[in-house]
Structure 1
Amino acid sequence: MSDLHDLCKFPVRPIDSGYVKQLNHYLTSGIPATYTVEEAYKVLNNIEDDDENSESVSNTTPLHLICQHVPKDLSSEELSIVEQMITTLFEYGAGWCFIDVNNNTPGCILIERGFHNSSLYQLILDAGVRAELLLRKVSEYDMEFIDEDDVPNQEDEVVPELVTELTKEQEEIEVVQKSNKPEIDDAPDAPSQNQDSYLNTKLEYVDNALITKDRKDGVMMSWESDLMKLGCDSLFKGSIIEENEIDSEINILNIGFGMGIIDTMIQAENPTKHYICEAHPDVLKKLRDDGWYEKSNVVILEGRWQDQLDDLLTKGIFFNGIYYDTFSEHYSDMLDLFDFVVGLLKPYGIFSFFNGLGADRQIIYEVYKKLVDIDLQNYGLSVTYTDVEVPKETLQYKDKSVWDDVKRSYWSCPVYYHPEAKFIEL
């Protein structure tokens, strides 16, 4: 372990400005903010990277150490110093979501130690949002990441510091994306990662769940029923024009039928028109077998929403409520969906969705919560969240879990953030 790592364990109290000064000294001397305990161990013991006799498997960075060792009885002055240290590490390229030997990010460690509502956790959360927004902006311009050694010296070229910073942001997003998925799902053509693969994968309805037949990926499960009820209630709030005025024509759109949980609830409210957009052939078969095609107020849109919603815009069909819950789609798909939502939603309508964004790690889940808020504001929509305690069976409880016979879990957070978005009132 290096002097930098020792410093981040707070060996001396009180924690004063000398800590920040010493940290800056190490970082300005060229020690990376991502320098791990593992790397330091190898250097101190002259161990090559390919040496199979290495005893250390730690990937602990200085930021991990700060989160592990920050005292719980900090004074306000000490808290300010620790905040400065974390901020300084981020300025020098520390990774907000790097994974240590225990599969924890710095944010995970703070949650486990009871710092979830602290300013220290907020610093890491904000860093995650910045990293995602930066990576997205870079991707828009299809920038190629290059090494510093490949950057020309001309003054009008891209500066090495910027290239290095962007590369670090890209790397840490890739790290967390890999850490959030079980090894079985790393392949880009896995049904959970690739929509074409999913649409060509056989599904089966078993034991109150919808799963992929061969791999046993969880597509939808009955534990979501209470969350679906929240979604249904939100959609019909969009039928209220004013306090005492209800829309005479209530149209609801649900994207992704799955097990039909929310659609059954929607039907119980007897909307004027109930549109269901579904692409998977096995789910469409269930829709047909269960009689949904014969319901007088139901319109089935067979196919991907990306191919179906343009027609609704062309026909001038508007909705009081739009719900989104699909499988094998990602946040980039949701951003595309927002373009349609603002065109299809009535002025007083409500948009909601099954909020499973990054829900296999709480810090990632909360980063996406903030991202959705930021992105919807760009579309003139505001989002409010209702905190809901998820059923205990979604977590490992008394050696039992709903995931026991399912290879791919899509949930591991203790709280569900139910979203409800509507147009911002001017």
Structure 2
Amino acid sequence: MSDLHDLCSFGSRPVTDAYVAQLSYYLKSGIPSTYTVEEAYNYTHDITEEASTNTTPLHLICTNLPEDLTEDEVAVCNHMVQILFEYGAGWSLIDANNETPGCILIRRKMNHLPIYKQIVEAGVRAELLLRKVGEFDMEVIEDTDDLNHDQFGDAVPDLVETEGTPEDVQKKEVANNTSTEKESEAEEQPKAENEVDDAPDAPSQNQESYLSTKLEYVDNALVTKDRKDGVMMAWETDLMRLGCDSLFKGAEIEQGEIDSEVNILNIGFGMGIIDTMINELKPTKHYICEAHPDVLAKLKKDGWYEKPNVVILEGRWQEQLDELLSSGDVYFNGIYYDTFSEHYHDMLDLFDYVVGLLKPHGVFSFFNGLGADRQVIYEVYKELVEIDLANYGLKCTFKSIEVPASTLKENNKSVWDDVKRSYWSCPVYYHPEARFIDI
């Protein structure tokens, strides 16, 4: 390791301001804040191959933080991390153990420290910056290959970067597609022999591909027939109940006064879990927007088209909601969003329709699977949602719920055993509830 890496390993105690001074000296001297242990080894041993793992100074700090830090030492360590970020440290780089710095703190149960908050805030800043640089083009992974990411450090949660030596810094961007709904972060992991790469045209990544892919309803799940991508699963039932309850809160105009006409919109039928709950409460009108032909066939088979208060909107919400908004005939007390193979930029487009179709006392909610295969990414998106909805005049609050234990691998058993790739690995679910901000 280099002297920089030794410093970030906290070989001596106490951790004083001398650590800050030494770190500043190294960075001001030109050593990249993302210079890895592996690259230092290759450089000193005259190895020309690019390092395959990325243990950065920030990883080392998170790995070696003493568990018995004093209050003063916490402040010093926090200052060190602040300086690293000022010099472009990568908050979401993945090391040899497939962990980001935030993941390490979570594993060590040290994510209560202010360092973890800094990491999350760095992720939020990075995403907002990339939007600005990309002129609000949200497909940052696919559409910004020509941007000079060197000047932004680790500028988006979907990037994993590998630095070169201090003399020849090179960055390699690997797309780790952070999901909005039921999709996985595409990580560099060994693949089973029968596993298919998540290429850009895979059903889990591409809406057009998904809509042309055959689906099947199996025990407690809806999956793509050939690949076994999990589209929806029964373990979400309790979370859907939360969503249903939130939607009907929008039926109350003010305390004690219930709206004479209660209209609910759900985007994405899937297994029909939340729609069954909604319909049992007998809203005035229950709109269901669904685009997949196999799911529409399920709706017809199960008699949803014959229900007197149900309106089926066949097609993608982008076209269907545009027609609703243009007609001006219906406004909703509750709107819920739960689709597959769509990304966060799609949700930002949806917000335009939500503010136009939601009644002043209405509630908007959604299945919050934003980056939920990695907890630190999940928390970054939680803050982004609050910021973005506030820009639309909506205040979003979150209720923290423990997810079913079956979603986490225990005793070699999990609800994901027969599914190609899980879309959930977080111990907590942040249930969103958004209302218009009172003026």
User: Does the alignment reach a TM-score above 0.5?
Assistant: yes
Do 1:185 and 1:192's aligned partners in 2 also have CA atoms closer than 8 Å? no
Q: Whole-Å Cα distance in 1 between the matches of residues 434 and 24 of structure 2?
A: 43
Paired position in structure 1 for 2:155:
169
Given candidates 61, 71, 81, the residue that maps to 2:76 is: 81
Which has the larger displacement, 411-420 or 311-320? 311-320
CA distance in 1, matches of 2:413, 2:421: 16
Q: CA deviation digits over 1:361-411, x for unaligned, max 9?
A: 000000000000000000000011111110011110221101001002110
What is the alpha-carbon distance in structure 2 between the residues aligned to residue 117 and residue 344 of structure 1? 39
Residue 218 of structure 1 aligns with which residue?
A: 230
Match of 1:240 in 2: 252
Residue in structure 2 matched with residue 126 of structure 1 by the alignment: 121
Pairing 1:163-312 to 2, within 5 Å after superposition:
164-166=150-152, 168-169=154-155, 171-172=159-160, 175=174, 177-178=176-177, 180-181=185-186, 184-312=196-324
CA, structure 1 residues 280+117, in 2 after alignment: closer, same or farther (shift >3 Å)? same
Partners of 2:53 and 2:94 within 8 A in 1: no
Counterparts in 2 of 1:393 and 1:147: CA distance versus 1, 3 Å: closer
- Residue type at the aligned position of 1:164: D
Is 2:299–2:305's contact at 8 Å kept on the other side of the alignment? yes
Let me know the Cα RMSD of the aligned residues: 1.8
What residue identity is the alignment partner of 1:357? L
Q: How does 1:384-403 map to 2 (within 5 A)?
A: 384-403=397-416
Query: Against the structure 1 CA distance between its residues 373 and 319, is the aligned structure 2 distance closer, same or farther, given a 3 Å change threshold?
Result: same
- Aligned residue for 1:6? 6
User: How far, CA to CA, are the matches of 1:300 and 1:144 in structure 2?
Assistant: 38
Unpaired segments of 5 or more residues in structure 1? Answer: 51-55, 149-162
Change (3 A) 1:4 1:395: same
Q: Deviations 1:310-348 (Å, cap 9, x if unpaired)?
A: 111122210000000000001000000000000000000
Q: Distance in 2 between matches of 1:211 and 1:147?
A: 37
The corresponding residue for 2:135 is 140
Change (3 A) 1:167 1:66: closer
Query: What residue number does 2:37 align with?
Result: 37
The one-letter amino acid paired with 1:277 is C
Q: Which consecutive residues of structure 2, in runs of 5 or more, have no partner in the other structure?
A: 138-142, 162-172, 179-184, 189-195
* Number of equivalenced pairs: 407
Residue identity in the other structure for 1:177: N
Check the 8 A contact 1:99/1:176 in 2, yes or no: no
Q: State the match for 1:151 in structure 2.
A: none
Q: Which residue does 1:157 correspond to in 2?
A: none
Question: d(CA) in 1 for partners of 2:350 and 2:197?
Answer: 24
Q: For 1:110 and 1:81, how far apart are their aligned partners in 2?
A: 17
Q: Is the 8 A contact 1:185 1:193 kept in 2?
A: no
Q: CA deviation at 1:414?
A: 0.4
| Alpha-carbon spacing, 1:168–1:125, altered in 2? closer, same or farther (3 Å) | closer
- Corresponding letter in the other structure for 1:378: N
Confirm or deny: 8 A CA contact 1:98 1:176 kept in the other structure: no
In the superposition, the TM-score normalised over structure 1's length comes to 0.92
* Cα shift readout 1:274-310 (whole Å, capped 9, x = no counterpart): 0000000000000000000000000000000001001
Q: Is the 8 A contact 1:278 1:301 kept in 2?
A: yes
SS of 2:380 mapped into structure 1? helix
Opposite residue 327 of structure 2, the aligned amino acid is K
> How big is the shift at 1:146?
5.9
SS of structure 2 residue aligned to 1:270: coil
| Identity between Structure 1 and Structure 2 (%) | 68
| TM-superposed deviation, 1:182 | 5.2
- Cα distance between partner residues in 1 of 2:305 and 2:333: 22
Secondary structure of the corresponding residue to residue 155 of structure 2: helix
Higher RCO structure, 1 or 2 (CA under 8 Å, sep 6+): 2
Match of 1:345 in 2: 358
Please say if 1:361 is aligned against 2:374. yes
